[in-house]
Structure formats: C-alpha cells, structure tokens
Structure 1
C-alpha cells in the first residue's frame, strides 16, 4: 500500500464524509484549547516575535483534512494575536499567512469552496471592519518531509494526524488477521511499528526544526495511550473490533484471506514517554507541556450518549462511531478490499461496536505536546 497516495479522510460534505463525522476531533481540539492558547500567548511575548508595523505571522496547520475543524485553530490564532496587539496599543494588526497542509489526496477543493468563505465571514463578524488580512494557502505533501521555507513559520499546529505513519512498517507479515497491533501480535510486529514511529516522528521534528524560527511554537495532539504497553486495549481496541468485522466478511466468502492477512493499518499510538524521548533525542525543541487526556468513543455522536430518541430511530453510539471510523478508514479499506463490501463491513462494525460499548468503558486517549523551537 502506497500510504502517501491512499491515505486521506473521506472528502466532500456527504453522509460518510469526514466533514460530517469529525465531532470527536472537534471536541479534542476544544479540550486542548488552553494549551494552544498558552502557546500562542507565549509566542507573542517572546522578544524575537516583537510586534512591528508590517509584520507577517505565518501559521501551519498540518494534517488539516477537510471540514469545519480545519480552520478552528487558525481562527483562534488570529483572534488571540489581534487581541494582544490591541491590548498593547498596536492599532495596525499584523497580516496572517495560514498554510493548510495534508497529503495530495485530501479534499482541498472543499476547504476553499465551503469552509474558507465562512472563515473570513466569521473574522469580520467577530473583529469588525478592522479585521486583519488573512491569506489561506493549500500545501499538499507529506509532513515527513520539508514543506516550507527555512525559518518561515511562527506557529505550527496539528491534531489527530501524527499517529499516521509514512508507510506500513516492514516486518509485519506475522500479524495475520490482526489489522493493527493487537494482544495476539508477536513482539517483532510491535517492535516494527514502534521503530517506524521513531523514524517518522524524528524526521517530522527535524523537518520542522528547519522551518520554525527560533522562539516559534508547535502544539501537537495525536491519538496515544497512557499505558507503556503498545498492545494496550486503550489504543488497539477500536481496530481489533474492525478486524472482527473483516473476519466476518471472510467467513462469508466476501473477501479473500490473502488480502486480510496482508492488510495493516499504518498508524502508531505512542505513550507520553515515547513522545518525550523522541523530542529530546532530536534536540531542536524544548517541551513546555506534555499531557494526556481522554474522550469517550460516544463523543463521536452529537449527544455524546445514546439518547432514547436516537435509539427509536435506530441510531445509537455504535452507529456514530462506525460512521466516524468509516470517514477515516474507508479509502484504505477500499484500496485493499474494493468498494462492494464497504457497506456490509460497517454495518457489521456498527453492531459489534454497539454491543461492546453497551458493556464496556471505551475511550480514546490523546497525547498533547507543546514545544518551543530553541533559539
């Protein structure tokens, strides 16, 4: 599987789109908002970032996807900087360059057609006629390589993107019928995943160290885990249940055993200590905050729980989580198994999720790190 070509969230604004099924990601951005706000405020207090007329501030949103979440942090960046400038008596606001990055398969068209206009309208509504100039740009490409000019970025943000690897790790052939790390995965498979994460995250940090200017800030949130065990249920369970749905299709003869055996999710969910180790090893950034948070799977639904009305309409928490996961994983699954089995796959998945969520405590674990580029 060529991850750089295949990996992207479902585009458009339809029922199975990421735009309509990314509520849990929105809630995570809200949960981590205090960390982001602190980083932006500290950035503007840094002596090397001192305000001056004609100043241009450049922010990058990495793994931006396409939907209402794409520009949430960009909006906060502009608003906080504008408020700080006015608080200190600067009537002329800086101009803002907002760089939106994702892999080439991302639906950039929807961003600029559906979401960018509302971004500018909201700026005018909240900041009035004196709202600063904001220039939005799409930057297709992998963040495991250089994307921007040297020392051009003041602030970098990424949420729910960096757990995706640049490729499926080599040496996972023994992970038969497990589509990700699982409790039954051999140690060699777990090590292969971890080593790929180390290579990728180190490369990411090295590339950003060249692009972020001294004193610049970076806030990253990724799916992770509290446990030091990489096969912990808290980070692997969501994929184990999808594997059960795939095995059901296999038993019905709807997919081939060889294709299931060769399918592995290009993702790694690190612990706090694993993130810290790689940042310190690369050496270009100082960690300001490193925190773990959690959010229930049920947050994928608008209610955050299974209401009686939803149940009557046949909509439950399993339905919401299945839709969320479909918006994320469908392109990978279509590439491997074809389009014809997708509806049945996610109907099975919904039933499995509904059953397990009714009996178990199911949560996503998030790791957030806020860093400063060393001068």
Structure 2
C-alpha cells in the first residue's frame, strides 16, 4: 500500500487542472465561516488579551490564493474585533502555514509579496503586522513545541485520513469493487472507516492540546454528512467510473479492489463524541452548512444561464484538482483525462434530475483547550 502522505496533495502549479484555478468551493466555505471566525477571535481576545503576538497555525493550507485568504480574513476580523470590543488586539500575527511535504509551498511563497503590498495599502499605520512561515509536516502528530500556539485553524482537511482503513485479512480487500463507503456496503466497511477516523482525530486533538497555549482555541471545518448513512458524494461517482473502466479492460480489477480513498465524512454527532472521549477540549460551536458541488457557481455568473454540462465540468475540475495525484499514483496518469470526462458526463445527468441533492455538508467546530 502506497504511503498516503507522499501522494496526498492537491494539483500544483497554475494549469487548467490545478488547485489554484479550481478551488472556488473551498474559498466560499471560508467566507461562510468568517462570522464564526470573528466570534472565535473575540473569545480568544478575552482569554489571552495580554498577549502582544499571536502565533496562529493554518493546518492543511494547500497552495494558491486560498492559502492567504485565511490570513486576509484573520487580519480583517482582528480589526473588526478591536473596534467592536473597544479594546486593543495583538499587534503582531505570526502565521504558520502547514501542509504535507508534497504541497506546492513555492506557489504560496510567490504570492506573499503582492499580498503584503495589498494589505499594507489597505491598512492604516497601526495595522496588525503579519509574518508568514511554512511548517511542512503531518498534522496527525506533533508539529510545534509544547504550549506554543494560540490559535489553530483548519479548513477542508480533516476529512482526509492518515491512511485508508484496511481489511483484517491482509490478502482480502476491505471494500471490493468500491473506493469508498456506499449505501450498499456491509456494516464492517463503515465501521472500519469510522474507527480510522476516530483514531486519527483523537491523535490530532491530543497533539494540538499539547501545542496550544492555555486559553487557546481551534476552529475546524471539514466535509461531513447528515446523521443518516447516506453516502452520496462525488468520490462515489469516481468509483462508478473506475468500475466501468475495469469492465472495459482499461484498469486492472485488482488495482480497484485493493484501493480505498483515505477520506471520511463524519456526522456532527460522531465529531462531538470523539471530542468528548478524547477529553482535551471543550466544545463551543458545532454546526453544519451546505454548499453545492459546483460551489453554486462564480459570484458574477447568472445561475440561469449555465447549463448542466458547464456545471458538471466545474465539478469535475474541482474534484480532479484534489484527487488526481492520489488516483494517478494508483491507476496511472494515462487514464485521468478519460476518467474525469466520464465523471463529468454522469454529474451532468445528475444535475438534470437531482440538482438540489448535490451538496456538501460542512461540519464547523470551534473548541477551547480544557484546562
């Protein structure tokens, strides 16, 4: 089994299938979460108001302009909080951008000079000063010294597992013919995924609790699902396409049978249960918001003028930007164009019949370190 951390990264660069050009959904979700970010910062100000410099870590930052969107939001929120509370906020932000070693950090670095020039042009003389650092590494484990960070943020990352769950019988696939949980799976497949999520999330919480300062806070957003076991999602469609390609002899069946995506969308109840069992944090916010697979299109596009084929291509590009490195490592680069062309055709048909159900359920969680 390939090492997930070596191939789990978004498509780098700035090409047509890059994450840079196909991450509208992630940006829109960050905008939706901004009011919760503001509430979180207010709480942090009251917890550690005497601190002059806040150390803030963005876990799973990926690459492209979205990486700095959180920093921009954070600076904006701190200005708003300072005015609304009529008290000073820290004058220095030390930002740590974290992702796995395969992430395209160079893409972030190239954006920083223009980003600093823009924010300095928008702010007054007494604006919050900001310093940005890169911290490559796996967040399922330690990244920082003890009691070092004031605020952890992560968006659209924690649904990724450290590895796909495996069968208890080494010679047998866990989920034959599928790459993720389906509504028709045996309960054992769902249980294996849930156990892997529980193990990973508990390690994540333990690691962050050791790294957080007293009074520190975390704000996390990730793809989840409603309480039912309905597993409708784009990666289920990828599994359907791969099965078709196996039947046509384009992919070896064994490669499909022994490949499972290292991803799990928990329910809010599952998230709450793991936080409670791990015991390091006190839950403050737990809510869900929904957004369409196509990100409900660009802000400047009239929904009524966009046909199902165009919507489907937007979905296909956004999924390809995220999943292609992982899929090509297992099935080969040569089939990627065909795979995502077929994927787009199926999504187009679904949009014509089930548009309202093609939504991501996003779980938003804020918590404080339990002293």
Q: TM-score, normalised by structure 2?
A: 0.92
Q: Secondary structure at the match of 2:360?
A: strand
Task: Give deviations 1:328-368, integer Å, cap 9, x for gaps.
Answer: 00001110011110001100000011001211121100111
Worse-matched range after superposition: 185-194 or 57-66: 185-194
Show structure 1 runs of 4+ deviating over 6 A. Answer: none
Q: Are residue 45 (structure 1) and residue 42 (structure 2) matched?
A: no
Q: Secondary structure at the match of 1:318?
A: helix
The match for 1:285 among 272, 281, 285 is: 281
Q: Secondary structure at the match of 2:222?
A: strand
**TM superposition shift of 1:93:** 5.3
Worse-matched range after superposition: 155-164 or 250-259: 250-259
Structure 1 portions without partners, runs of 5+: none
**TM superposition shift of 1:45:** 1.6
**TM superposition shift of 1:8:** 0.4
Q: Are residue 325 (structure 1) and residue 332 (structure 2) matched?
A: no
**TM superposition shift of 1:304:** 9.2
Structure 2 residue aligned with 1:266: 262
Task: Give deviations 1:121-157, integer Å, cap 9, x for gaps.
Answer: 2321221343333111111111001001111111111
Structure 2 residue aligned with 1:7: 8
Structure 2 residue aligned with 1:125: 121
Q: Are residue 250 (structure 1) and residue 246 (structure 2) matched?
A: yes
Q: 1:109 to 1:227 in 2, by over 3 A?
A: same
Structure 1 residue aligned with 2:349: 355
Q: 1:180 to 1:58 in 2, by over 3 A?
A: same
CA distance in 2, matches of 1:301, 1:278: 34
Structure 2 residue aligned with 1:19: 20
Instruction: Trace 1:191-206 onto structure 2 (pairs within 5 A).
Output: 191-206=191-206
Structure 1 residue aligned with 2:71: 74
Task: Give deviations 1:240-281, integer Å, cap 9, x for gaps.
Answer: 211121122222221111111111100111001110011111
CA distance in 1, matches of 2:301, 2:77: 33
Q: 1:89 to 1:247 in 2, by over 3 A?
A: closer
Q: Secondary structure at the match of 1:355?
A: helix
**TM superposition shift of 1:88:** 4.0
CA distance in 2, matches of 1:303, 1:339: 33
**TM superposition shift of 1:184:** 2.2
Q: Are residue 138 (structure 1) and residue 134 (structure 2) matched?
A: yes
Worse-matched range after superposition: 124-133 or 317-326: 124-133
CA distance in 2, matches of 1:295, 1:210: 34
Q: Are residue 57 (structure 1) and residue 54 (structure 2) matched?
A: yes
CA distance in 2, matches of 1:301, 1:79: 25
Q: Secondary structure at the match of 1:128?
A: coil
Q: Secondary structure at the match of 1:369?
A: strand
Instruction: Trace 1:88-127 onto structure 2 (pairs within 5 A).
Output: 88=86, 90=88, 94-113=91-110, 115-127=111-123
Structure 2 portions without partners, runs of 5+: none
Q: Indicate if the aligned counterparts of 1:44 and 1:81 stay in contact, CA closer than 8 A.
A: no
Structure 1 residue aligned with 2:187: 187
Q: 1:93 to 1:285 in 2, by over 3 A?
A: closer
Structure 1 residue aligned with 2:31: 30
CA distance in 2, matches of 1:84, 1:226: 33
Q: Secondary structure at the match of 2:65?
A: coil
Q: Are residue 209 (structure 1) and residue 209 (structure 2) matched?
A: yes
Worse-matched range after superposition: 165-174 or 301-310: 301-310
Task: Give deviations 1:97-125, integer Å, cap 9, x for gaps.
Answer: 10000000000000011x22232123212
Q: Indicate if the aligned counterparts of 1:171 and 1:188 stay in contact, CA closer than 8 A.
A: no
Q: Secondary structure at the match of 1:335?
A: helix
CA distance in 2, matches of 1:265, 1:334: 13
**TM superposition shift of 1:298:** 2.6
Q: TM-score, normalised by structure 1?
A: 0.91
CA distance in 1, matches of 2:94, 2:164: 34
Q: 1:120 to 1:305 in 2, by over 3 A?
A: closer
CA distance in 2, matches of 1:89, 1:198: 40
Task: Give deviations 1:145-189, integer Å, cap 9, x for gaps.
Answer: 100111111111101100000011121814111110012222111
